[in-house]
Amino acid sequence: MSERVFINDVGPRDGLQNQPRILQPAQRLGLIESLLDAGLKHIEAGAFVSPKAVPAMAGAAELFAALPDRDDVTFTALIPNMKGYELATAAGARSVCMVLYASEGMAQANVRMSRAEADAAGAAIVERARQEGVRVTSTVSVAFECPFDGPADPGLVADMVARFADLGSDEVCVADTIGAANPVQVRRLMGALVDAHGAERLSCHFHDTRAMGVANVFAAVEAGIRKFDASIGRLGGCPFAPGASGNVATEDVNMMLSQAGFDTGIDARKLQVAARVAEELTGNAPGGRARAWLERNLEVAA
Ligand code: COA
Ligand code: ZN
């Protein structure tokens, strides 16, 4: 049997948060349903953040209340602080993703906290989530490069991963928020992290700004990582990280992994249909790098 690799589609959150066209919760739910139809079992469905800071994520409570009751699917809520944790869990979220920062500049730009303040908020959230039986991912953002402060310190990233793994995070995600990493760096960092902590609780999040997203996923696979964030239709980009473009496309990651002999549990054809849904809704989804080939090969009607 082929080995399983998990893809967490962050399109409904990372993908939509920076779109010029703001979608209503019911439209975002439509995108999520198309992902479920394609077999995705992990979906970052929205963010409990200030609607003034990120208008595209407004109505997250309404969206979470409307999510289908699926025991086999993990719907995650992104949160920036304890208030986000409280709002998310009150809306029924059973899985949260808290963001940490490998730079001062990004912490200030994103949440107006220092790096240390965000770490402290994260630690308090992990503790509370464990008490309340809520699944928690700690994401180390700008883990390779920060748009304000430049290259990240791999030693600092390793310390943050160790701390949040020790605190009992269910998952620690290493994120290339602006898509600046290269595969050699990824293999080195993720190799060291897998040696230190095992691969079970680690995951990676890549953006495809420089067309190295799939290469970076593969470098992490070679290091032992078996869980990745990706975004349908290559939607994405952080409003507070200048120069960040879309996440690596779920379609590209799925194609590469499937062709390389891994089992993703995803229906490639239905995934292309979901990419069409993303494009229709936003008018702004570039699609995977392999879009033309995939559409022809899978005979997705125009
Ligand atoms: N969800 C919703 N509202 C929130 C919130 C949350 N998680 N955290 C704080 N707020 C509200 C406060 O209640 C306050 O509301 P008010 O103006 O009606 O009184 C307002 O936001 C400002 O709160 P304050 O604590 O002064 O925060 P701030 O203005 O420094 O903003 C954040 C900090 C974290 C709320 C804001 O920067 C944010 O939401 N950032 C998210 C960024 C993001 O999503 N980035 C992309 C994903 S990584
Ligand atoms: Zn991202």
Q: Which domains does the chain have, with CATH numbers?
A: 6-298 (3.20.20.70)
Q: Ligand 2 mean position to 202 CA, how many Å?
A: 16
5 CB burial (10 A radius; 0-12, 13-18, 19+): buried
Tell me the catalytic residues: 238
Helix (H, G, I), strand (E, B) or coil at 209: coil
pTM for the whole structure: 0.97
Please list, in sequence order, all residues whose beta carbon lies within 8 angstroms of the beta carbon of residue 107, skipping any fewer than 6 positions away: 101, 113, 114, 115, 117, 118
Distance between Cα 42 and ligand 2 center (Å):
16
How many whole angstroms from 50 Cα to the centroid of ligand 1?
A: 4
* 3-state DSSP assignment of residue 227: strand
pLDDT at position 228, please? 99
Nearest-CA residue for atom 2 of ligand 1: 50
Q: To test the ligand 1 pocket, which listed residue (10, 50, 57, 79) has its Cβ within 8 A of the most ligand atoms?
A: 50
Q: Is 268 helix (H, G, I), strand (E, B) or coil?
A: helix
* CA-113 nearest atom, ligand 1: 30
Ligand 2 centroid distance, CA of 100 (Å): 12
Report d(CA 66, CA 78) in Å as an integer.
Answer: 17
Nearest to 130 by CA among 102, 164, 107, 174: 164
Alpha helices in 41-103 (DSSP H): 60-66, 82-90
* C-alpha of residue 31 to centroid of ligand 1, in Å: 25
CB-based pocket (< 6 A), ligand 1: 17, 47-50, 53-54, 78, 80-81, 83-84, 87, 99, 110-112, 238, 240
Question: Which ligand 1 atom is at minimum distance from the Cα of 84?
Answer: 7
Query: SS3 of 151, please?
Result: strand
Check residue 233 and report its DSSP letter: G
Q: Whose CA is nearest to atom 33 of ligand 1?
A: 111
Q: How many H helices and E strands in the chain?
A: 11, 10
Q: Which ligand 1 atom is the nearest neighbour of the CA of 141? A: 48
Looking at residue 299, what is its pLDDT?
84
Tell me the average confidence (pLDDT) per consecutive run of 10 residues in the chain, 302 residues long. 95 96 97 98 98 97 98 98 98 98 98 98 98 98 98 98 98 98 98 98 98 98 98 90 92 98 98 97 95 92 68
244: closest CA among 252, 253, 235? 235
Indicate which residue's Cα is closest to atom 44 of ligand 1.
49
What pLDDT, on a 0 to 100 scale, did the predictor assign at position 215?
98
CB contact set of 240 (below 8 Å; sequence gap of 6+): 106, 109, 110
